[in-house]
């Protein structure tokens, strides 16, 4: 336990708190970015650590709605986590995490927390598991022709400026995110952050370009926004609600004049390679994406649906959030999901970390068991639970390392 006092910041302390965060990461706030952050951060959802009158650590939460298999769950998006280098190795991060989880649980707040990890070795000890991955797709567009039988429809693509494109993007995104585990809702202020395009964020590329796809009936079905960097197209975000729109947008990107490469952070089961005559023309590099922590295991597991009927008794271990520890029976069939304490013999032993990893339906309990992280106590129990937790498509958060900022 740390002896440093912890509390939420007051509104007048925001700038000092925010500059302490960026100092920890060796960065400075740009004036516009600092103002934007101040409008979106809720002071009462922050945590700050003090040494006398000096701010020495902090973190914050954005409340969002996360798509899970056949459902939605309120999620605490954890961000701006930092401890000054002068106060490392003193238990501050552990104390701040414990305070945050305890407040969420005792207040009946979000049952799930999620974040993108700056370092992969930090958050597992707090019960976070890797629940989704992303694939960095890189291709030489000279060899990325679509298969001749791919149907891209009879629609059209228009280039729009950000102001004209934004309401169309919002509509498509809100439709697409309802069916894709790992996507979250976006409010007006988060769209503003997502489309923020000052020169210093462009990484040497152009301003954002916005292409919107409309089907033959005039309905907007998809969009992509991207920037050019030399001969490379950097796709920032692509969303489509039909197969034809998805194919049309990729054909547009592949055929852009003056470019011979494209890069995009997509899902690990991204459809694009299957549309190409030469699937090897796209290379994939897979990295971790969303880390998920089940703060209240029971509420979290009953918020999602399962791939088939399942009845398994879990022995759950959770040293960090002790209220989750115990023996529970999961019984799910369609929309009926029940999670109750039981005295029956345990069939699967695991920790809250593994439940968080499996929560979105991507990481399987079977692969975690193969790694020695899940113990099977009844033959066949892990396989049955693993199949039930699995989703039809791999989960994915479409904003790279920026969750939950947008």
DSSP 35-102: HHHHHH--GGGEEEEEETTEEEEEEEEEEEEEEETTEEEEEEEEEEEEE-GGGTTSSHHHHHHHHHHH
What are the pLDDT digits (tens) for 146-158?
Answer: 999 999 988 999 9
E strand or H helix at 107: helix 92-107
Q: Could you tell me the pLDDT band of residue 1, with boundaries at 50, 70 and 90?
A: low
| Residues 6+ positions from 64 with CB-CB distance below 8 Å | 74, 75, 77, 184, 185, 404
Query: Is the separation of the CB atoms in 217 and 168 below 8 Å?
Result: no
Neighbour count for residue 2 (Cβ, 10 Å): 16
Cα 103 from Cα 47, distance rounded (Å)? 11
Extract the annotated binding site.
81-83, 89-94
- Look at phi and psi of residue 191 and say left if phi exceeds 0, alpha if psi is from -120 to 50, else beta: alpha
Which fold is adopted by the domain 296-389? Nonspecific Lipid-transfer Protein; Chain A (3.30.1050)
Give the 3-state secondary structure percentages of the chain, helix then strand then coil, rounded to 5: 35, 30, 35
State mean pLDDT over 208-229: 98
State mean pLDDT over 289-300: 98
| CATH tag for 134-288 (out of 2.40.480.10, 3.40.50.410, 3.50.50.60, 3.40.630.30) | 3.40.630.30
Neighbour count for residue 256 (Cβ, 10 Å): 16
Instruction: Report the predicted TM-score, pTM, of the whole model to 2 decimal places.
Output: 0.95
Residue the block writes with tokens 């000890």: 125
State mean pLDDT over 62-68: 96
- Domain 6-110 and domain 134-288 have a common topology: yes
Cα 362 from Cα 180, distance rounded (Å)? 12
Note the pLDDT of residue 406.
Answer: 56
User: CA 160 → CA 152, 208, 209, distances in Å?
Assistant: 21, 10, 8
Cα 381 from Cα 401, distance rounded (Å)? 35
Q: Could you tell me the pLDDT band of residue 405, with boundaries at 50, 70 and 90?
A: low
Residue 200 has pLDDT above 90, yes or no: no
- The yes-or-no answer on residue 406 being catalytic is yes
State mean pLDDT over 175-193: 92
State mean pLDDT over 363-381: 98
Note the pLDDT of residue 34.
Answer: 79
Query: Is the separation of the CB atoms in 16 and 169 below 8 Å?
Result: no
**Which residue among the candidates 123, 128, 264, 306 is catalytic per the annotation?**
123
Note the pLDDT of residue 400.
Answer: 65
E strand or H helix at 197: none
Extract the annotated binding site for acetyl-CoA.
81-83, 89-94
State mean pLDDT over 66-78: 97
**Domain ranges in the chain?**
6-110, 134-288, 296-389
Note the pLDDT of residue 20.
Answer: 94
Residue 319 has pLDDT above 90, yes or no: yes
Query: Is the separation of the CB atoms in 115 and 77 below 8 Å?
Result: yes
Note the pLDDT of residue 173.
Answer: 98
Cα 276 from Cα 274, distance rounded (Å)? 6
State mean pLDDT over 165-180: 96
Calculated CA dihedral for residues 101, 104, 106, 109, nearest 10 degrees? -160
User: CA 92 → CA 49, 54, 83, 87, distances in Å?
Assistant: 7, 14, 7, 8
Q: Could you tell me the pLDDT band of residue 29, with boundaries at 50, 70 and 90?
A: confident
Q: Could you tell me the pLDDT band of residue 36, with boundaries at 50, 70 and 90?
A: confident
Q: Given this structure, which CATH class describes domain 6-110?
A: alpha beta
Residue 217 has pLDDT above 60, yes or no: yes
Residue 128 has pLDDT above 70, yes or no: yes
**In DSSP terms, which residues pair with 135 in a beta bridge?**
266, 286
């Amino acid at each position: 336990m740390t002896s440093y006092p912890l509390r939420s910041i007051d509104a007048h302390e925001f700038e000092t708190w925010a500059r302490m965060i960026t100092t920890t990461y060796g960065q400075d706030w740009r004036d516009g970015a600092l103002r934007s952050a101040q409008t979106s951060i809720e002071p009462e959802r922050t945590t700050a650590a003090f040494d006398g009158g000096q701010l020495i650590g902090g973190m914050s939460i954005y409340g969002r709605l996360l798509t899970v298999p056949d459902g939605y769950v309120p999620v605490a998006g954890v961000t701006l986590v930092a401890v000054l280098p002068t106060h490392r190795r003193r238990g501050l991060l552990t104390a701040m995490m414990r305070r945050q989880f305890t407040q969420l649980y005792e207040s009946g707040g979000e049952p799930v927390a999620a974040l993108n990890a700056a370092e992969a070795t930090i958050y597992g000890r707090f019960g976070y598991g890797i629940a989704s991955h992303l694939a960095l797709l890189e291709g030489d567009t000279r060899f990325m022709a679509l298969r001749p039988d791919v149907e891209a429809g009879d629609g059209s693509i228009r280039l729009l400026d950000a102001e004209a494109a934004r309401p169309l993007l919002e509509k498509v995104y809100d439709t697409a995110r309802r069916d894709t585990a790992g996507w979250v809702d976006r409010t007006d202020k988060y769209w503003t952050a997502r489309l923020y395009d000052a020169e210093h964020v462009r990484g040497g590329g152009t301003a954002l370009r916005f292409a919107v796809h409309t089907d033959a009936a005039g309905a907007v079905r998809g969009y992509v926004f991207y920037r050019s960097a030399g001969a490379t197209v950097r796709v920032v975000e692509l969303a489509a609600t039909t197969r034809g729109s998805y194919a049309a947008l990729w054909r547009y990107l592949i055929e852009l004049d003056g470019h011979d490469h494209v890069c995009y952070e997509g899902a690990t089961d991204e459809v694009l390679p299957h549309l190409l005559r030469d699937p090897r023309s796209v290379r994939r590099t897979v990295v971790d994406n969303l880390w998920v922590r089940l703060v209240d295991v029971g509420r979290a597991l009953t918020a999602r649906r399962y791939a088939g009927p399942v009845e398994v008794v879990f022995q759950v271990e959770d040293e960090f959030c002790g209220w989750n520890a115990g023996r529970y029976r999961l019984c799910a069939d369609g929309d009926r999901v029940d999670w109750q304490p039981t005295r029956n013999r345990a069939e699967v032993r695991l920790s809250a970390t593994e439940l968080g990893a499996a929560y979105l339906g991507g990481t399987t309990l079977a692969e975690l068991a193969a790694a020695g992280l899940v113990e099977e106590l009844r033959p066949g129990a892990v396989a049955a639970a693993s199949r039930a937790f699995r989703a039809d498509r791999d989960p994915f958060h479409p904003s790279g390392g920026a969750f939950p900022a947008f």
